[in-house]
């Protein structure tokens, strides 16, 4: 009996509890709990990213605010109504400000600067609040849809604002544009806000709402 009690207490110990990322970030939820078939592909947990280094040492899950997760669930329902073989594929979710500082060091003073929010501003990055998602759509079993350029391609071809001209210059195909429009349609239908220079990035609220309603994760 004593052994059983000991085992039970060991399971419940703060050490075991603190090891789960969701416990380390108590205001966040695991996005996959809301969208069961979400493909999680956190590029910053690997060295396959613009910084060429592993930036997330303990963050292995897509964590977001409950509000963001609920919106993604809604977007997923919309996506499934259009084509049940399509799934969301997340590249980045909650990103602590400490990582934002590391990223800023890599891009500061380079042409890539517009693609990383300055962590020293009053807002920093909306990713730092769990309110932003870097996301695409996959066809189940055959990987992400062709968006013309990959996630974190730092150049004009990533800009939603330039898509029409890019198609005219044959830098993007009609299919690329269709895929991006589908992504924007399902995300904005659920209330997400796209940005003008990254096809993969969506915010759960306006800058002002983020600052006043949510808490930054350092």
Query: In the bound complex, what is the minimum distance in angstroms from residue 202's beta carbon to Zn ion?
Result: 8
Stretch that binds Zn ion, among 26-34, 59-67, 112-120, 194-202 (CB under 5 A): 194-202
Out of 201, 204, 205, 216, the only residue in the binding site for Zn ion (CB under 5 A) is 201
For residue 41, state whether it binds Zn ion (rule: CB under 5 A): no
What H or E segment, with its residue span, contains residue 65?
strand 63-65
CB distance 49 to 100 below 8 Å: no
Select the residue whose beta carbon is closest to Zn ion and give its number.
201
β strands within 13-142, DSSP E: 28-30, 39-40, 63-65, 86-92, 132-139
* Residue among 148, 150, 139, 124 at smallest CA distance from 43: 150
Angstrom distances, CA of residue 204 to CA of 56, 90, 137, 193: 22, 15, 18, 6
How many residues make contact with Zn ion (CB under 5 A)? 2
Query: In the bound complex, what is the minimum distance in angstroms from residue 99's beta carbon to Zn ion?
Result: 12
Site for Zn ion in 107-166 (CB under 5 A): 134
Query: In the bound complex, what is the minimum distance in angstroms from residue 127's beta carbon to Zn ion?
Result: 5
**Binding interface with Zn ion (CB under 5 A):** 134, 201
């Amino acid at each position: 009996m004593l052994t059983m009690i000991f085992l039970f207490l060991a399971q419940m110990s703060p050490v075991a509890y603190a090891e789960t990322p969701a416990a380390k970030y108590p205001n966040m939820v695991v996005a996959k709990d809301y969208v069961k078939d979400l493909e999680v592909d956190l590029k910053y947990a690997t060295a396959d990213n613009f910084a060429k280094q592993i930036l997330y040492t303990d963050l292995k899950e897509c964590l977001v605010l409950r509000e963001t997760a609920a919106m993604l669930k809604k977007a997923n329902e919309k996506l499934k109504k259009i084509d049940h073989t399509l799934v969301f594929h997340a590249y980045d979710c909650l990103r602590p400000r400490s990582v934002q500082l590391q990223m800023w060091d890599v891009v500061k003073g380079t042409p890539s600067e517009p693609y990383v929010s300055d962590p020293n501003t009053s807002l920093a990055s909306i990713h730092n609040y769990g309110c932003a998602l870097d996301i695409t759509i996959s066809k189940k079993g055959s990987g992400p849809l062709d968006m013309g350029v990959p996630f974190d391609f730092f150049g004009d071809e990533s800009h939603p604002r330039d898509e029409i001209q890019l198609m005219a210059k044959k830098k993007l195909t009609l299919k690329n544009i269709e895929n991006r429009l589908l992504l924007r349609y399902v995300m904005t239908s659920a209330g997400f806000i796209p940005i003008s220079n990254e096809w993969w990035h969506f915010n759960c609220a306006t800058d002002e709402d983020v600052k006043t309603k949510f808490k930054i994760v350092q």
